Amino acid sequence: MAEYREIITKAVVAKGRKFTQSNHAISPQHHPSSILGCWIINHKYEARKVGKTVEISGSFDMNVWYSHHDNTKTSVATERVEYKDVIKLHYHDPDCMDDKEVAAKVLQQPNCIEAVISKKGNKILVSTEREFLVEVIGETKVCVAIHQGECPCDDDDDWAEELDDSELEEINPDFLVANENE
Protein backbone atom coordinates (compact mmCIF):
# COMPACT_ATOMS: atom_id res chain seq x y z
CA MET A 1 0.00 0.00 0.00
CA ALA A 2 1.36 3.40 -1.01
CA GLU A 3 1.74 6.37 1.27
CA TYR A 4 0.84 9.84 0.09
CA ARG A 5 2.57 13.20 0.48
CA GLU A 6 1.33 16.70 -0.19
CA ILE A 7 3.80 18.84 -2.10
CA ILE A 8 3.44 22.60 -2.22
CA THR A 9 4.39 23.96 -5.65
CA LYS A 10 3.76 26.89 -7.98
CA ALA A 11 1.22 26.25 -10.72
CA VAL A 12 -1.34 27.99 -12.92
CA VAL A 13 -4.35 28.30 -10.62
CA ALA A 14 -6.67 30.38 -12.85
CA LYS A 15 -6.93 31.47 -16.51
CA GLY A 16 -8.80 34.01 -18.56
CA ARG A 17 -9.02 35.33 -22.10
CA LYS A 18 -10.62 38.43 -23.61
CA PHE A 19 -11.05 39.84 -27.12
CA THR A 20 -11.91 43.56 -27.25
CA GLN A 21 -13.08 45.80 -30.07
CA SER A 22 -13.25 49.54 -29.44
CA ASN A 23 -13.97 52.73 -31.38
CA HIS A 24 -12.05 55.99 -31.12
CA ALA A 25 -12.49 59.46 -32.61
CA ILE A 26 -9.50 61.57 -33.63
CA SER A 27 -9.83 65.29 -34.28
CA PRO A 28 -7.16 66.15 -36.88
CA GLN A 29 -5.83 69.69 -37.49
CA HIS A 30 -7.39 69.87 -40.96
CA HIS A 31 -10.66 68.54 -42.39
CA PRO A 32 -9.66 65.20 -43.96
CA SER A 33 -10.34 64.49 -47.65
CA SER A 34 -9.37 60.79 -47.50
CA ILE A 35 -7.73 58.25 -45.20
CA LEU A 36 -4.37 57.00 -46.50
CA GLY A 37 -3.44 54.65 -43.66
CA CYS A 38 -3.80 53.85 -39.99
CA TRP A 39 -1.37 52.05 -37.70
CA ILE A 40 -0.88 51.49 -33.99
CA ILE A 41 2.51 51.66 -32.24
CA ASN A 42 4.04 51.85 -28.75
CA HIS A 43 1.74 49.36 -27.03
CA LYS A 44 2.43 49.06 -23.29
CA TYR A 45 0.44 47.29 -20.58
CA GLU A 46 0.47 46.01 -17.01
CA ALA A 47 -1.67 43.27 -15.48
CA ARG A 48 -2.75 42.81 -11.87
CA LYS A 49 -5.20 40.57 -10.06
CA VAL A 50 -8.23 42.29 -8.54
CA GLY A 51 -10.60 39.94 -6.72
CA LYS A 52 -11.70 37.22 -9.16
CA THR A 53 -10.59 39.17 -12.22
CA VAL A 54 -7.39 40.45 -13.83
CA GLU A 55 -7.20 44.11 -14.84
CA ILE A 56 -4.97 45.03 -17.75
CA SER A 57 -4.17 48.73 -17.90
CA GLY A 58 -2.49 49.80 -21.10
CA SER A 59 -1.95 52.41 -23.76
CA PHE A 60 -0.97 52.73 -27.41
CA ASP A 61 -0.40 55.46 -29.96
CA MET A 62 -2.85 55.57 -32.86
CA ASN A 63 -1.54 57.23 -36.04
CA VAL A 64 -3.78 58.10 -38.99
CA TRP A 65 -2.26 59.33 -42.24
CA TYR A 66 -4.79 61.42 -44.14
CA SER A 67 -5.02 63.88 -47.02
CA HIS A 68 -6.60 67.32 -46.77
CA HIS A 69 -7.18 70.50 -48.82
CA ASP A 70 -8.88 68.49 -51.62
CA ASN A 71 -6.21 65.75 -51.57
CA THR A 72 -3.33 68.20 -52.18
CA LYS A 73 -1.56 67.79 -48.82
CA THR A 74 -1.06 65.01 -46.27
CA SER A 75 -0.66 64.91 -42.50
CA VAL A 76 -0.53 62.38 -39.68
CA ALA A 77 -2.90 62.69 -36.73
CA THR A 78 -1.63 61.00 -33.57
CA GLU A 79 -3.56 60.23 -30.43
CA ARG A 80 -2.61 58.27 -27.32
CA VAL A 81 -5.31 55.80 -26.29
CA GLU A 82 -5.50 54.45 -22.73
CA TYR A 83 -7.61 51.42 -21.88
CA LYS A 84 -8.50 49.08 -19.03
CA ASP A 85 -9.60 45.52 -19.82
CA VAL A 86 -11.18 43.45 -17.04
CA ILE A 87 -10.75 39.72 -17.67
CA LYS A 88 -12.86 37.17 -15.81
CA LEU A 89 -10.97 34.17 -14.49
CA HIS A 90 -12.04 30.59 -15.18
CA TYR A 91 -11.02 27.52 -13.17
CA HIS A 92 -9.81 28.56 -9.78
CA ASP A 93 -7.80 26.04 -7.75
CA PRO A 94 -9.53 25.61 -4.37
CA ASP A 95 -6.23 24.66 -2.70
CA CYS A 96 -4.45 27.83 -3.83
CA MET A 97 -2.60 29.61 -1.03
CA ASP A 98 -1.07 32.63 -2.78
CA ASP A 99 -2.25 33.94 -6.15
CA LYS A 100 -0.75 37.39 -6.62
CA GLU A 101 1.49 36.60 -9.62
CA VAL A 102 -0.10 37.29 -13.03
CA ALA A 103 1.29 36.40 -16.45
CA ALA A 104 -0.38 38.28 -19.33
CA LYS A 105 0.25 37.42 -22.97
CA VAL A 106 -0.92 39.45 -25.96
CA LEU A 107 -2.64 37.14 -28.45
CA GLN A 108 -3.57 40.03 -30.78
CA GLN A 109 -1.65 43.32 -30.58
CA PRO A 110 -3.86 46.41 -30.84
CA ASN A 111 -4.68 46.65 -34.52
CA CYS A 112 -6.63 49.08 -36.71
CA ILE A 113 -9.62 47.36 -38.33
CA GLU A 114 -11.10 50.41 -40.07
CA ALA A 115 -10.59 54.17 -40.26
CA VAL A 116 -13.26 56.41 -41.83
CA ILE A 117 -14.13 60.10 -41.98
CA SER A 118 -17.13 61.09 -39.83
CA LYS A 119 -20.37 62.30 -41.50
CA LYS A 120 -19.64 65.91 -40.49
CA GLY A 121 -16.18 65.55 -42.02
CA ASN A 122 -14.23 66.95 -39.09
CA LYS A 123 -13.18 63.71 -37.30
CA ILE A 124 -11.65 60.36 -38.12
CA LEU A 125 -13.37 57.32 -36.59
CA VAL A 126 -11.07 54.38 -35.92
CA SER A 127 -12.11 50.81 -34.98
CA THR A 128 -9.47 48.72 -33.17
CA GLU A 129 -9.14 45.20 -31.77
CA ARG A 130 -6.89 43.46 -29.23
CA GLU A 131 -6.82 40.15 -27.34
CA PHE A 132 -5.16 38.96 -24.12
CA LEU A 133 -4.61 35.65 -22.36
CA VAL A 134 -3.90 35.80 -18.62
CA GLU A 135 -2.74 33.14 -16.18
CA VAL A 136 -2.67 33.50 -12.41
CA ILE A 137 0.22 31.65 -10.81
CA GLY A 138 0.02 30.63 -7.18
CA GLU A 139 1.13 28.13 -4.60
CA THR A 140 -1.00 25.01 -4.47
CA LYS A 141 -0.88 21.47 -3.07
CA VAL A 142 -0.26 18.38 -5.15
CA CYS A 143 -0.82 14.93 -3.71
CA VAL A 144 1.66 12.24 -4.80
CA ALA A 145 1.94 8.54 -4.05
CA ILE A 146 5.11 7.32 -2.33
CA HIS A 147 6.23 3.83 -3.30
CA GLN A 148 8.17 1.89 -0.68
CA GLY A 149 11.35 0.13 -1.66
CA GLU A 150 13.91 0.76 -4.30
CA CYS A 151 13.08 3.12 -7.15
CA PRO A 152 14.06 1.95 -10.64
CA CYS A 153 15.21 5.49 -11.44
CA ASP A 154 17.87 5.28 -8.71
CA ASP A 155 19.96 2.91 -10.85
CA ASP A 156 22.72 5.20 -12.14
CA ASP A 157 24.42 2.36 -14.04
CA ASP A 158 22.07 2.88 -16.98
CA TRP A 159 23.29 6.44 -17.42
CA ALA A 160 27.00 5.79 -17.10
CA GLU A 161 28.74 5.44 -20.44
CA GLU A 162 32.44 5.20 -19.97
CA LEU A 163 34.94 4.99 -22.80
CA ASP A 164 37.31 2.06 -22.80
CA ASP A 165 40.95 2.26 -23.93
CA SER A 166 40.26 0.98 -27.45
CA GLU A 167 37.69 3.75 -28.06
CA LEU A 168 40.11 6.40 -26.81
CA GLU A 169 42.78 5.19 -29.28
CA GLU A 170 40.33 5.68 -32.18
CA ILE A 171 39.93 9.43 -31.50
CA ASN A 172 41.77 11.58 -34.06
CA PRO A 173 43.41 14.47 -32.16
CA ASP A 174 43.79 16.42 -35.45
CA PHE A 175 40.09 16.18 -36.26
CA LEU A 176 39.40 19.93 -36.12
CA VAL A 177 42.60 20.87 -37.92
CA ALA A 178 41.87 18.35 -40.72
CA ASN A 179 38.38 19.80 -41.33
CA GLU A 180 39.70 23.40 -41.52
CA ASN A 181 42.02 22.46 -44.42
CA GLU A 182 39.26 20.95 -46.54
In this predicted structure, what is the pLDDT of residue 19? 97
In this predicted structure, what is the pLDDT of residue 182? 53
How far apart CA 91 and CA 170 sit, in angstroms, is 59
Which CA distances in Å does 37 have to 46, 62, 73, 76, 182? 28, 11, 14, 9, 54
Q: Do 30 and 67 form a contact (C-beta atoms < 8 A)?
A: no
57 half-sphere exposure, CB direction, 13 A CA radius: 3
Q: Do 12 and 136 form a contact (C-beta atoms < 8 A)?
A: yes
In this predicted structure, what is the pLDDT of residue 147? 77
Assessment of whether the complete model's pTM goes beyond 0.75: no
Q: Do 85 and 18 form a contact (C-beta atoms < 8 A)?
A: yes
Per run of 10 residues, the mean pLDDT along the chain (length 182 residues) is 82 93 94 95 96 94 95 95 95 75 95 94 94 93 81 62 72 65 53
